[in-house]
Amino acid sequence: MIISVASGKGGTGKTTIATNLALALEQVQFIDCDVEEPNAHLFLRPQIEKKVTVTIPIPRIDETKCTHCGRCAEACEFNALVCFPQTVLTLDELCHGCGACSYICPEEAISEEEKEIGVIEFGRRNGIEFLHGRLKVGEPMATPIIRMEKSFIKNERTIILDAPPGTSCPVIETVKGSDLCLLVTEPTPFGLNDLMLAVELLKQLAIPMGVVINRADVGNKDVHEYCRREEIPILLEIPMDRNIAHLYSDGISMVEKIPEYRDKFIGLFAWIKEITERIGNV
């Protein structure tokens, strides 16, 4: 089973939910897909065992072969190539490494050079297999690293994917293929607005969803009303608790120090299994 944990906005407690679920279940594979700012390792504290470099192929033009026909620039969906009468300009920052330009070039004047954009680190803690990606500073594209992270998924295990915040391309790359997505929100106007955006995204991708409300006793009941109207199950509510906040500030997960929360997160997983099994039988 692949469970992704996402949110329409940052700061809702998405990583808190993902890491506590992993620690409660233990025998899982945890993948932190927030490659621009990974932080799950602060709570899971894995022993990092190895590192893999992530690269994408960047076009390089052989001017001795190039006839400046412009077909490469026409084929590029991302405007990473600009053809002038005497030369072709390549914009590495815009290139997505798709290879269309080298494939379509009639003169075979385009070769590809590997460009490092980040790394993936692998680790372990007890029964948790851990990996996270780190996007190189200054690089604009997170999705190739997320795609490579997901290539290491072990289907025989329960998979937890900690998604980036928001509803942009990295989030889509993370959640697609999930059996269920947990949407973590807070009962505030901003929380509701961004929850609605995330819900519409998951509807477009046809991914089943459930909601976890963090700091559930602040704000208002608009999130509850919205979930009721949309028939989205609220699977867990966590109150505003000073003790939890203190533990969080020390990098300690609530299931490690507050026993009743271990039972709650095991119960959350039971709800997830029931929902996915029900959908599978429809």
pLDDT at 37: 93
CB 2 within 8 A of CB 176: no
Phi, psi (rounded to 5 degrees) for 204:
-65, -35
pLDDT at 3: 97
Q: Do domains 2-54+123-281 and 63-108 have the same CATH topology?
A: no
pLDDT tens-digit map of 127-185: 999 999 999 998 989 999 999 999 999 988 999 999 999 999 999 999 999 999 999 99
pLDDT at 169: 93
Please give the Cα distance from 210 to 237 (Å, whole number).
Answer: 12
Domain spans in the chain, listed from the N-terminal domain onward: 2-54+123-281, 63-108
Give the three-state DSSP class for 94: helix
Bridge pairing between strands 110-125 and 209-214: unpaired
For 63-108, CATH gives 3.30.70.20
- Using CA atoms in the order 127, 178, 279, 230, what is the torsion angle rounded to 10 degrees? 120
Mean pLDDT, each 10-residue run in order, the chain (282 residues): 91 93 94 96 95 96 94 95 94 92 95 96 94 94 95 94 94 96 95 95 96 91 95 94 90 92 95 86 46
Please give the Cα distance from 241 to 104 (Å, whole number).
Answer: 59
Q: What is the pTM of this model?
A: 0.91
Please give the Cα distance from 89 to 72 (Å, whole number).
Answer: 11
pLDDT at 135: 96
pLDDT at 282: 43
Bridge pairing between strands 110-125 and 47-61: antiparallel
Please give the Cα distance from 95 to 79 (Å, whole number).
Answer: 8
The contacts of residue 82 (CB under 8 Å, 6+ apart) are 73, 88, 89, 91
What kind of architecture, by CATH, is found in domain 2-54+123-281? 3-Layer(aba) Sandwich (3.40)
